[in-house]
Chains A and B, each alone.
Chain A
């Protein structure tokens, strides 16, 4: 992925974060992302994210589970190997309900979690750039991509006016890569040197 330059601002309260996000969106600078230590309600609306469609994936996986269970059990007991259990019908639909339900839930849950990991691009061994070590602790971090090198100072000054407790400029990879969290990346070492 591309290595880019970011202007970073940290806020210590979500009450300050919301107006700041509003200002950044209106400023015309390229907002990279907002990082929070916990789900802040309304932030997705403030950022203009549309609602997540994860539940649609859940439904699709669930219905697949229903179909798998029902069709498989019906096939086994009516076509493949019919067994007479005390004169009961081969196609005993009520008796298929428990397993059908369980498989529906199983498929929906597993499928949805995998979809979630895929969409969020998370997996064991994945590494992403952390703008501030306390972004998973108690700070709310806003990162703006510096597209015009000349505007760097201007962006920092602008961020300071939004109530940020800390601002800085960082060079970082924007996406994810395979890596170890206890090792620093080459570009960071170069930066330090």
Chain B
């Protein structure tokens, strides 16, 4: 008899009366089968987008940054908008795997693997934008502090832009390590099940020779806990530092102390929306509804309504502070932000980010798959507009009215953005085919407390009288 206790009032996290063997079977099935037609079509389409993006980038590098719509007044346009958008999306994975681990949230085990993969791919996409924004991209390595023949001349460590280089690269490295250390035991599971020689050999390499001894698992848990402890402040620091890119400047609309918490809340908001978009599809296509349950989706929708509301408060606070500060430049910047030529982007942001998530106060809508899917896309559109609003509507009218301008992107900028979708989905399709999309070992660990068959047993125990219970425990083998 199992005496780990979890109240039966809590919803089961694993449905369908699973045993350990079935868990392995269900999660390994997509890897061991030939991919479906849908997979091939999706993969081919992603590759198409990726090659269009590659062509756009080639065009930009060949002809120069002038092929983009940015100009002297609006020096940051779609590129930095997309950068911040992708980095924000990349926050959900580590939040789920690290912060929810520290908070002992059992439901994270069903979604953490896919969310972490999404984080890594999103950060890869994000990194492209500032690199190609440099223009002479072949000199991109100048941002690194390496000994050189010019002095050595070092980068400016006081600059928020350089902090970003360190923050993003650390975030990428640590997320990758965290993700892969969890993958090693699962690759070992696939390796030991492998029927073909090639699969056995490749997963043998990928699994690092993992056998699962008790001591190894003890170190594994210790590693995960410390990495989670390190990643928790890290994930908060990354978007804080991204917000410093703006907040440490003296541009009206950017120069605000509210930026770090506001950006972090926005990042979690958009990240969870993207996780929902992907997982609603993944659970359907790979028939993993028993592991990614409606309960998981509802939990994420709760995070969306919370962070969406925080973001809404931040928008209103910004307006209030502009008025309260009595700085005419701030006041004018916000007046134009709301009512100026870019009014449509501001109101798109407000509608998508502040109004739409409020629907998630209703339990029925939180548990509705179709509604969740649509709303997750709406939220991501809204969060893209948020970054666009912050960047472009703070820049297009500067202190010198003769340089006021209106910015719209060219096809190369558009192509670059589309290309990162190609990169993201190409990676995600490969991940979904060749990697276990759910953490096999971790889900087995929660099975006996949160599986529906074990919860039913717990209900029986709960209804038992104390002497009956003691009798049963004493007579168990």
Contacts and interface: CB of A to CB of B under 8 A. Distances in A.
Asked if A and B are interacting partners, one says yes
Interface string B287-318: 00000000000000000000000000000000
Given A37-B441, A102-B167, A122-B210, A76 B226 contact: no
Contact of B203 (A73, A108, A128, A181): A181
Interface stretch (B47-55, B151-159, B343-351, B462-470): B151-159
A113 B181 contact: yes
Contact of A108 (B2, B156, B213, B230): B230
Contact of B233 (A16, A101, A135): A101
Contacts of A117: 208
B162 interface: yes
Interface string B430-441: 000000000011
A175 B231 CA distance: 33
A80 to B, nearest CB: 7
Contact of B219 (A43, A52, A126): A52
Contacts of A134: 21, 192
Contacts of B181: 113, 116
Contacts, number: 209
A156 interface: no
A149 to B, nearest CB: 25
A127 to B, nearest CB: 6
B223 A116 contact: yes
Nearest to A34: B214
Contact of A136 (B212, B226, B477): B212
Interface string B220-251: 11110111001101100100010010000000
Contacts of A126: 208-209
Most buried by A among B23, B170, B191: B170
Interface in A65-85: 72-73, 76-77, 80-81, 83, 85
B105 interface: no
Interface in B151-208: 151-154, 156-158, 160, 162-163, 166-167, 169-170, 173-174, 177-178, 181, 184-185, 188-189, 191-193, 197-198, 200-201, 203-206, 208
B20 interface: yes
Interface in A4-51: 15-16, 19, 33-40, 43-44, 47, 49, 51
Interface string A132-166: 01111110000000000000000000000001000
B444 interface: yes
Contacts of B26: none
A99 interface: yes
A96 B205 CA distance: 40
A45 B213 CA distance: 14
Contacts of A88: 158
B2 A39 contact: no
A16 B171 CA distance: 42
Contacts of A102: 163, 166-167, 170, 234, 237
Contacts of A124: 205-206, 208
Contacts of B169: 106
Interface residues on B, range: 35 or more
Contact of B204 (A105, A137, A181): A181
B151 A137 contact: no
B95 to A, nearest CB: 15
B19 interface: yes
B1 interface: yes
Contacts of B212: 35-38, 135-136
B405 interface: no
B364 interface: no
A133 B158 CA distance: 55
B239 to A, nearest CB: 12
Nearest to A98: B163
Contact of B170 (A40, A43, A47, A103): A103
A15 B191 contact: no
Given A37-B212, A122-B209, A135 B219 contact: no
A36 B213 CA distance: 6
Nearest to A121: B209
Given A81-B152, A99-B166, A136 B214 contact: no
A105 B189 CA distance: 30
A128 B212 CA distance: 11
A110 B170 CA distance: 10
Given A103-B170, A113-B181, A136-B185, A49 B214 contact: yes
A48 to B, nearest CB: 10
Contact of A125 (B151, B205, B222): B205
Given A39-B220, A44-B215, A54 B226 contact: yes
A182 B213 contact: no
B59 interface: no
Given A73-B157, A99-B162, A39 B221 contact: yes
17 contacts: A33-B213, A34-B213, A35-B214, A52-B219, A58-B230, A81-B154, A92-B158, A99-B157, A106-B170, A109-B174, A116-B220, A119-B219, A122-B210, A134-B192, A137-B192, A163-B477, A182-B198
Interface of B: 1-2, 19-21, 23-24, 145, 151-154, 156-158, 160, 162-163, 166-167, 169-170, 173-174, 177-178, 181, 184-185, 188-189, 191-193, 197-198, 200-201, 203-206, 208-223, 225-227, 230-231, 233-234, 237, 241, 244, 440-442, 444-445, 477
Given A49-B218, A182-B197, 16 more contacts: A16-B477, A37-B441, A47-B214, A54-B223, A58-B226, A81-B153, A83-B156, A85-B158, A88-B158, A106-B169, A120-B215, A121-B209, A134-B192, A136-B188, A138-B21, A176-B209
Interface of A: 15-16, 19, 33-40, 43-44, 47, 49, 51-52, 54-55, 58, 62, 72-73, 76-77, 80-81, 83, 85, 88, 92, 95-96, 98-99, 101-103, 105-106, 108-110, 112-113, 116-117, 119-130, 133-138, 163, 176, 180-182
Closest 10 pairs between A and B when the two form their complex, measured CB to CB: A181-B204, A126-B209, A138-B20, A122-B208, A38-B441, A52-B222, A182-B200, A138-B21, A39-B217, A95-B158
